[in-house]
A and B are shown apart, each in its own frame.
Chain A
Amino acid sequence: MASAEEVAKEAERRDIRDRWLLSAPALLVIFFAATGPLLIVLVYSFLTPGPYGDVKWHFSPEAWISVFMERDIFDDTLSLAAAHVTIFWRSIKLAIITTIATLVLGFPTAYFMATRSEKTRDLWLFLITIPFWTNLLIRTFAVLQIIRNEGLINTVLLKLGIISAPIQILFTDTAILVGMAYVYLPLMVLPIYASMEKLDFRLVEAGYDLYATRFQVLRRIIFPLVKPGVIAGSILVFIPALGAYVTPSVLGGGKNMMLSNLIELQFGQGRNWPLGSALSIAVMVIVMVALLAYVRNAGRSEVRHG
């Protein structure tokens, strides 16, 4: 007869097997839905562009070369693709500034929400999520209405006599930045709030009690303890900001292209699907490398706390 221990082990084994079997359909769908399209993009990036879009099934590394290099039309020599590098750099720069801007605005907001009474906290949480109810395009046009030359800001400033001619905000990097900071702010606030809500505010009192000023308490106690939220928020803002499409095309006016606009161009007017695919993969690699570096760096002094 099997001992009780063996029976228990067998039951546990069966339990684990059953769980895998039951979740297998969902896991398969998720696996193929996630990797399938990416594989197609990867394959396309090594093919030759067709004359009317689409691809010809000939292997060619040309698309990958064109990501950062430019082939001279006459003598076939390669040189750095200045336009691409500029767009890459601008996109990364804007995504980083957006992340910092949302952090600067979002951190105090999350702190404010977390220090409210339990009842009002839900109300603030609800208010933060309201923008999500409206279509992104409409929200972006709303920002456009505010910052355009005949918009709210310029009209008010002109009426007050502070400026004599409208300030050109629209179709500049500033416009893109304002738009992205507005759109992505909730993505920063929510994870920081989630960390902040768990923060034991008696620790803050203990800090004050031990002669720490308000700033020292913020830097030495609050910030280290809500760091997981800050990291999560930064990731949630940085990734979509780097790939943002609607905001730069509406507020940047197509003049200040970002990565996603460049990629879109290849699949549209450019009729160069392989280059579009190669650019997409390149962006993905940049994001992954940046994230790994960031999480590693942030995680070094990071402490688990529950």
Chain B
Amino acid sequence: MKSGHKNGVIVPEQPGRSAIEVRGVRKVFGTGESQVAALDTVSVSIRENEFFTLLGPSGCGKTTLLRLIAGFDFPSAGEILLHGQDIASLPPFKRPVNTVFQSYALFPHMTVAENIGFGLEMLGKPKTEIKARVAEMLKLVKMEALSGRRTSQISGGQQQRVALARALAPQPKVLLLDEPLSALDYKLRKEMQIELKRLQHETGITFIFVTHDQEEALTMSDRIAVMSSGKILQVGTPWDIYDKPAERFVADFIGETNFLTAAIANIGNGKARATLKSGATIDATVAEGFQPKDNATVVVRPEHAKLTSGKGELSGMVENIVYFGTDTHIHVQLDSGEAFTVRQQNTRSAGCGFERGDKVGISIGNDAAQVLRD
């Protein structure tokens, strides 16, 4: 009884099916008074061959969910299906799922090659096959030259590659990555982001990636699940998540945004008319699951609004101007009392064209506003 592969966990892949299906999973830590729900009835379906990201602040339950899928913890309630089969009660060594740990967790008493071959060895693969596969993995992560080194003798970035190769070597159905880039410096992190995308593409394995870094999530993922306080708030493509946030938390956590109070009318077809405090009326898209109510929150991204010296949907006074190199952020105090930030692309020839204290108008495009459901 060595592996899940032999225990009939694997079913032939069928296109379009989900690789991991999480159904109504709860995870409670502690007992009695000190009981804490780390995951509160979470359901999500992760497709085959997908780069799926669990995004959220620390303590939101994203790592807990990953550990449940890996088998290090067991759910208090609910099911976890791998290719349609419930794996929630299987120990980790019987799941065809491998993990890249945040700390890498490389075995310090083994060489790079021994680390990579460990999973295959435990699966009882023949020596020649292990050797060939390890060589292949070393090549994949470009570490051929260091195969005989101890893991303490290589750099952080190299350890990261070894951890990846080790987890990929047994050809798991799903690869779990627990904030694997957080220990790397900025430049290396950028490189590894591209590298991870390449590996996912080349191996065709489903990646489930956990991060608190919204930029990382946006640039790498096919789809993102935004989590907070043990719940999944929204699942969608990076574009969906950024441009059509469903809730205030999502809009706030990812990128910068402006929140405005508005009265909503004419809801239909995912669109509505929003009347802002300034009296102006704009077209807006409406978040799924929006319950009609008098006053709702409308969000507008800073780069989707334009500052004019004339009239716009909003008006106010320039309060602060912050230069960012590629663009300039202009903070405006609206006449309604709300704050609003506009991001303006910089050019070489001219400044931003406004000064502190200027009376300005803000025009919001037709497709710039989104009504939140909370």
Contact of B92 among A208, A220, A224, A305 (CB under 8 A): A208
Q: CB-CB contacts of B1-21 with A at 8 A, as 1s and 0s?
A: 111100000000000000000
**B71 with A208: CB separation less than 8 A:** yes
Q: Which of B105, B118, B166 contacts A202 (CB 8 A)?
A: B105
- Could you mark each residue 171-209 of chain A with 1 if its beta carbon is under 8 Å from any beta carbon of chain B, else 0? 000000000000000000000000000001011011111
A303 sits at the interface (CB 8 A): yes
Do the beta carbons of A225 and B105 come within 8 Å of each other? Answer: no
Question: Are the C-beta atoms of B108 and A225 separated by less than 8 Å?
Answer: yes
Q: Whole-angstrom distance between the alpha carbons of A215 and B166 in the complex?
A: 20
B316 in the interface, Cβ–Cβ < 8 Å?
A: no
Chain B residues in 8 Å Cβ range of A216: 122
| CB-CB nearest in chain B for A213 | B93
Min Cβ gap A225→B in Å is: 6
Instruction: Judge whether A221 is part of the interface by a CB distance below 8 angstroms.
Output: yes
Determine if A211 and B119 form an interchain contact, defined as CB atoms under 8 angstroms apart.
Answer: yes
A212 at the interface (CB under 8 A from B): yes
Q: Count B-side interface residues using an 8 Å CB cutoff.
A: 29
Nearest residue (CB) in A for B98 is A209
Q: Give the residues in chain A near B253, CB-CB below 8 Å.
A: none
Instruction: Let me know if B122 and A212 touch, CB within 8 A.
Output: yes
Q: A207–B107 Cα gap in the complex (Å)?
A: 9
Chain B residues in 8 Å Cβ range of A202 = 101, 103, 105
> A200–B72 Cα gap in the complex (Å)?
15
Q: B182 to nearest A CB, angstroms?
A: 15
Chain A contacts for B119, CB-based, 8 A: 210-211
- Find the B residue at minimum CB distance from A305: B108
Considering residues A210, A220, A225, which has the most beta carbons from chain B within 10 angstroms of its beta carbon? Answer: A210
- Collect the chain A residues with CB atoms within 8 Å of residue B3's CB: 211
Q: Are A211 and B107 in contact, CB atoms less than 8 angstroms apart?
A: no
Nearest-neighbor residue (CB-CB) of A204 within chain B: B105
Chain A residues whose CB sits within 8 angstroms of the CB of B92 once the complex forms: 205, 208-209
Closest to A225 in B: B109
The contact of B170 among A206, A211, A224, by CB within 8 Å, is A211
Kindly state whether residue B91 has any CB partner on chain A within 8 Å: yes
Instruction: Contact check, A203 vs B105: say whether CB atoms are below 8 A apart.
Output: yes
Question: Smallest distance from the beta carbon of A83 to chain B beta carbons, Å?
Answer: 46
B221 an interface residue at 8 Å Cβ cutoff?
A: no
Q: Please name all residues of chain A whose beta carbon is closer than 8 Å to the beta carbon of B70 when the two chains form the complex.
A: 209
Cα A303 to Cα B115 in complex, Å, equals 15
Nearest residue (CB) in B for A223 is B109
Verify if B123 is at the interface (C-beta below 8 Å from A).
yes
User: Which residue of B2, B99, B103, B108 is within 8 Å of A209 (Cβ)?
Assistant: B99
Tell me the nearest residue of chain B to A203, going by C-beta: B105
Measured CB to CB, the closest approach of chain A to B248, in angstroms, equals 35
CB distance from A11 to the nearest CB of B (A): 34
- Report whether B150 and A211 are in contact in the complex, using a CB–CB cutoff of 8 Å: no
Closest A residue to B94 using CB positions: A211
Cα A207 to Cα B118 with chains together (Å): 8
Q: With A and B bound together, what is the CA distance between A206 and B103 in angstroms?
A: 11
CB neighbours (8 Å) of A208 from chain B are: 71-72, 91-93
Q: With A202-B101, A202-B103, A206-B99 known to touch, is A211 a contact of B108 (CB < 8 Å)?
A: no
Whether B219 sits at the interface, judged by CB under 8 Å, is no
Chain B residues closer than 8 Å to A205, beta-carbon distance: 72, 92, 99, 101, 105
Query: How far apart are the CA atoms of A207 and B3 in the complex, in Å?
Result: 13
CB of B281 within 8 Å of the partner chain: no
Interface residues of B in 90-131 (CB under 8 A from A): 91-93, 97-99, 101, 103, 105-109, 118-119, 122-123
Is A305 a contact partner of B2 (Cβ separation < 8 A)?
no
User: Of all chain A residues, which has the CB nearest B91?
Assistant: A208
Contact A206 B152 (CB under 8 A): no
Residues B109 and A211 in contact, CB atoms below 8 Å apart:
no
Q: 19 interchain pairs (CB within 8 A)?
A: A202-B103, A205-B105, A206-B107, A208-B72, A209-B72, A209-B97, A209-B98, A209-B99, A209-B167, A210-B98, A210-B166, A211-B119, A211-B170, A212-B118, A213-B2, A213-B122, A216-B122, A225-B109, A303-B150
8 tightest A-B CB contacts, nearest first: A210-B119, A206-B105, A211-B122, A208-B92, A303-B109, A305-B108, A202-B105, A212-B122
